[in-house]
Amino acid sequence: MAVWTHIDHTSVSLPATTVQFGTHGSAPISQSYDHLYLVMSGRWSNSGSEPHRHDVVYNANTTDADYSNTYLVTTRSGLVQADRNDGRDLAAYLTTSDFEADVFAATSIWIPHYSNTANYKQMFSQSVCPNKSDSNDEWAVRLTATMFHENTDAIDEIRVVAGGGHNFVANSTFDLYGITGA
């Protein structure tokens, strides 16, 4: 069996508010892997001079209190911040329509042991929001550790939401991989 399996690919051809992998309970993401790896390259349809944080929702749970995040982030030269907060929008960025044209944010999220039912699920994300700018708050670099602790259910749905009633623009791409162990 291959170690890596490409589960699904979505390339947005028209503006879309949501990209979804699996449906909680009824059409779940396959539970036959050891880990999941989500890779995104995205841009937001709305304006804004600052990087836009978008939602990553597991098992259709939109309760921010069930997402605990510890992160290291910078949006300014000379300033690094470390913090801990609840929320489903603290792991991934999108560039906005005010950013340099044709520039997309990039995010990768590891979800180890997503199918076990004994423990809460942890995620590790690397997200960057590049821009042709070195001005304060017009770019971002972020590392986030997330604990999804609604319950110990396996992760069977991942929903990526642009947010604010706006869309992912065309050419935003989303890939979900499954990784097996020995």
Partner 1 sequence: MAVIEAIQTTYLEADASYIVWTSIPDTYEHLEIRASIQTNTSSTSTGTSILYLNNDATNGNYYTRHQLKAQNTSATANASETHQQTGYLNSKVVQQSYAALHIVLYDYANTNKMTTFTMTQGAPEALTPSLTFTSSIWWRDSGGYTNTDAIDQINIGVPGSQLTRGSSATLYGITG
Q: Which residues bind partner 1 (CB under 8 A)?
A: 2-6, 9, 39, 41, 43, 72-74, 76-80, 100-106, 108, 126, 128-134, 139-141, 143, 170-171, 173, 175, 177
Report in angstroms how near the CB of residue 16 gets to partner 1 at its nearest: 16
Report in angstroms how near the CB of residue 90 gets to partner 1 at its nearest: 16
The letter for the amino acid at 66 is: D
Name which of 1 and 118 has its Cβ closer to partner 1. Answer: 1
Name which of 51 and 61 has its Cβ closer to partner 1. Answer: 51
Polymer length of the chain? 182
Report helix, strand or coil for 14.
Answer: coil
Report in angstroms how near the CB of residue 117 gets to partner 1 at its nearest: 26
DSSP bridge partners of 27: 23
Sign of CA dihedral 86, 88, 93, 99: negative
Report the alpha-carbon distance of residue 32 to residue 17 in Å, rounded.
29
Report in angstroms how near the CB of residue 40 gets to partner 1 at its nearest: 8
Report in angstroms how near the CB of residue 34 gets to partner 1 at its nearest: 14
Laid out side by side, the sheet with 173-179 consists of 4-11, 173-179, 35-42, 105-112, 121-129, 140-148, 67-76, 79-86
Name which of 65 and 72 has its Cβ closer to partner 1. Answer: 72
Name which of 115 and 125 has its Cβ closer to partner 1. Answer: 125
Report the alpha-carbon distance of residue 68 to residue 12 in Å, rounded.
29
> Which of these, 93, 127, 96, lies nearest to 109 by C-alpha position?
127
Name which of 3 and 65 has its Cβ closer to partner 1. Answer: 3
